[in-house]
Amino acid sequence: DGGITQSPKYLFRKEGQNVTLSCEQNLNHDAMYWYRQDPGQGLRLIYYSQIVNDFQKGDIAEGYSVSREKKESFPLTVTSAQKNPTAFYLCASSMGIQETQYFGPGTRLLVL
Amino acid sequence: AQTVTQSQPEMSVQEAETVTLSCTYDTSESDYYLFWYKQPPSRQMILVIRQEAYKQQNATENRFSVNFQKAAKSFSLKISDSQLGDAAMYFCAYRSAFGNEKLTFGTGTRLTIIP
């Protein structure tokens, strides 16, 4: 089955710790995205990547980092600089930057 | 900057009835795309329907249809023959057609289906 997978489903972060959220797709999509969702709000774009080895900041990139070493994978690291990381994180992909975005199941990040 | 407004935080409908969810947006662009996404309790975002602004015909996907009023910048979603599985948060989203990768989302409408 083609799709987007995210792991883990739940993630706990201690103060001062960096954590990495995984996003993998087997849809052969070129573009991938990371969004953050807070309660009562819509999604906000953190980072996006149009092709391998290239990525751009979205609206709320501070405290986050990404890499795109493989077409199928776009991991997101939440660094200790992100002071309010508790949120639901959604990864998406699309055939191209102009195409419809499809979403993974999400990762819930909680701070201990 | 583009904005998307969903003025109905919550809606409810009787099973098998029809419900309409509202969405308005603000943009100075002439060409763009509009979407409705559904987020059930599992929290995965699922594409419901997509509309291209240059197409006058309203998009339809089975029981889901939109009323796209470009001049009024309105993009409502109509769900016919509502089913229990339609219960979810519904988000309206906007994306420019001019090389802009970002989806701009509204704050969502929680739809409850009454059996």
A15-46 pLDDT, tens digit each: 889 999 999 999 999 999 999 999 878 899 99
Supply the pLDDT for residue B56: 83
Q: Tell me, what's the pLDDT at B100?
A: 60
Q: Hey, what's the torsion of the CAs at B110, A44, B48, A110, to 10 degrees?
A: -60
Instruction: With beta carbons less than 8 A apart as the criterion, state whether B109 and B93 touch.
Output: no
Taking the CA atoms of residue B83, residue B86, residue B88 and residue B93 in that order, the dihedral angle to the nearest 10 degrees is -150
Q: Looking at CA atoms only, how far is residue A68 from chain B in angstroms?
A: 17
Residues of chain B above pLDDT 70, percent: 97
Contact predicate A46/A36, CB 8 Å: yes
pLDDT (0 to 100) of residue B1: 74
Residue A1 has a pLDDT of 60
Instruction: Indicate the pLDDT class of residue A94, thresholds 50, 70 and 90.
Output: very high
Average pLDDT over residues A70-85: 93
Mutate: best of A43, A47, A99, partner B, most B CBs <10 A: A43
Chain B nearest-CA distance from A43, in A, is: 6
Instruction: Report CB contact under 8 Å: B44, A33.
Output: no
Q: For tokens 């796209």, what's the residue?
A: B68
pLDDT: which is higher, A1 or A56: A56
Q: Which residue has the higher pLDDT, A97 or B112?
A: B112
pLDDT of residue A41: 81
Please give the residue that has the higher pLDDT: either B100 or A75. Answer: A75
The interface residues of chain A toward chain B in range 65-84, judged by CB-CB distance below 8 A, are none
CB contact under 8 A, B42 and A105: yes
> Which residues on chain A are in Cβ contact (under 8 Å) with B105?
42-44
Mean pLDDT of chain A: 92
Q: If you average pLDDT over every residue of chain B, what do you get?
A: 93
Return the C-alpha torsion angle A97, A99, A104, A107, nearest 10: 40
Closest chain B C-alpha to A66 CA, distance in angstroms = 17
Q: How confident is the model at residue A96 (pLDDT cuts 50, 70, 90)?
A: confident
Q: Looking at chain B, which runs of residues are DSSP E strands?
A: 3-5, 10-14, 19-21, 24-26, 32-39, 46-52, 60-61, 64-69, 74-79, 88-96, 104-105, 109-114
